[in-house]
Amino acid sequence: MEAPRLAHAMSSPTSPCEEVIKNLSLEAIQLCDRDGNKSQDSGIAEMEELPVPHNIKISNITCDSFKISWDMDSKSKDRITHYFIDLNKKENKNSNKFKHKDVPTKLVAKAVPLPMTVRGHWFLSPRTEYTVAVQTASKQVDGDYVVSEWSEIIEFCTADYSKVHLTQLLEKAEVIAGRMLKLSVFYRNQHKEYFDYMREHHGNAMQPSVKDNSGSHGSPISGKLEGIFFSCNTEFNTGKPPQDSPYGRYRYEIAAEKLFNPNTNLYFGDFYCMYTAYHYVILVIAPVGSPGDEFCKQRLPQLNIKDNKFLTCDEEDGVMVYHHAQDVILEVIYTDPVDLSLGTVAEITGHQLMSLSTANAKKDPSCKTCNISVGR
């Protein structure tokens, strides 16, 4: 790929350009818009003989790349030296980082064989809808381009993080996890009305619900995985759960072995922060062979329940012993319903600290500790 080199316009009977414009920067120039209408100050001349791309196909979509191909008429095809590609986020397709919002071209690519891979040039974001359109162009000896009309506009959506990307996040999280502390219970804070509702309408069992969009934008569990959130962090001095909570004054506690044991699998789901000094790690506990287990097996890195940096379950002298990482806040998602009779519900004595809530929390995209080198 080469950077755009835009010089003066070529006048022609079919071009609306009224004068030659020289030495224009990309920030100052106004190009053709994607509907084929030309700016009065266009720095690119039109050559109608160049074929217009059609039947555009997008394939091999990842969280930060895609392949693009199209069909072209054979007429003047040998004159094509470059492709101009316009990419915009669908929800904001009329704006960009340049001074003039009608500057659409973000990339000038040499005319390589199709399909062509587009990777990282716009810092593509995962699971984001984009629009794309293409022009063919011919570079002249004086450095100018002549171009075709814009193609039709195609829409597509980038993918979630793959296991490879999540493994990169996992490795970053392992660096700061810290030493392991013992735990004995998982707990879930909610309002009294929540527990009353589960007793009355769901046979005394808490039901899985779809995970919100908190955390990394590319996390494959957001908006898709169904589960019940639990906490397991303990206070350093007491070894017990903290008395404060952002989620409600009533707490359900359940013995760790009821949810986490050799009959469950453990997966790494996410690593993020919310413009704060402390970081969150999302883990998923799924009963072996359950729908949640099958979902995670295809998308998430699996952890050894006896040997990992975040949450372990091992047997010592015939008793199950549990440990959690000290220096990250663990959010544990259990993928099956949980009967309230397996634990206890009681009111907490501490404060309800709403500022600690992670509901739909946005990840800090500038944090070097918990971001990886793909689209945010």
Q: What confidence tens digit (pLDDT) does each residue in 212-258 have?
A: 988 888 899 999 999 999 999 988 777 787 777 777 789 999 999 99
Higher pLDDT, 337 or 348: 337
What would the mean pLDDT of 33-51 be, rounded to a whole number?
A: 51
Output the six-digit token pair for 141. Answer: 């000896």
Res. 169 pLDDT band, cuts 50 70 90: very high
User: What backbone phi and psi angles, to 5 degrees, belong to 340?
Assistant: -65, -25
Residues 266, 272, 276, 278, Cα dihedral to 10°:
30
Task: Let me know: does 324 contact 181? Beta carbons within 8 Å.
Answer: yes
Residue 201, SS3? Answer: helix
Computed from CA positions of residues 349, 352, 357, 359, in that sequence, does the dihedral angle turn out positive or negative? positive
Higher pLDDT, 78 or 225: 225
Q: Is the pLDDT of residue 280 over 50?
A: yes
Task: Let me know: does 242 contact 187? Beta carbons within 8 Å.
Answer: no
What would the mean pLDDT of 110-129 be, rounded to a whole number?
A: 83
pTM of the entire predicted model: 0.78
Regarding beta strands 329-334 and 280-287, do their DSSP bridges make them parallel or antiparallel, or are they unpaired?
parallel
Residue that has been written with the tokens 């004054």 in this structure: 249
Q: Is the pLDDT of residue 325 over 90?
A: yes
Residue type, 293: D
What would the mean pLDDT of 112-118 be, rounded to a whole number?
A: 90
Distance CA 211, CA 314 (A): 28
Architecture, CATH, for domain 54-158: Sandwich (2.60)
What would the mean pLDDT of 262-288 be, rounded to a whole number?
A: 94
Q: Is the pLDDT of residue 176 over 90?
A: yes
Residue 197, SS3? Answer: helix
Task: Let me know: does 91 contact 129? Beta carbons within 8 Å.
Answer: yes
Based on the number of CB atoms within 10 Å of its own CB, is 35 exposed (0-12), middle (13-18) or buried (19 or more)?
exposed
From the centroid of its chain, how far is CA 61?
Answer: 13
Q: Is the pLDDT of residue 16 over 70?
A: no
Residue ranges of domains in the chain: 54-158, 163-347
* Cross-strand partners of 325: 180
Pick from 313, 310, 361: which is nearest to 169 by CA? 310
Res. 302 pLDDT band, cuts 50 70 90: very high
Helix (DSSP H) and strand (DSSP E) numbers for the chain: 4, 23
Pick from 365, 373, 375: which is nearest to 215 by CA? 365
Output the six-digit token pair for 130. Answer: 């984009």
Q: What letter does residue 226 receive in the DSSP assignment?
A: E
Question: Is residue 296 within a helix (H) or strand (E), and if so which, with residue range?
Answer: helix 291-299
- Which segment, 6-10, 137-141, 245-249, is predicted with the most confidence on average? 137-141
Distance CA 182, CA 178 (A): 13
Res. 365 pLDDT band, cuts 50 70 90: confident
Cis peptide upstream of residue 301 (ω within 30 degrees of 0): no
CA-only gyration radius of the chain, Å: 27
- pLDDT tens digits for range 186-207: 999 999 999 999 999 999 999 9
Residue 264, SS3? Answer: strand
- Give the lowest-confidence range in 66-70, 261-265, 299-303, 353-357: 353-357
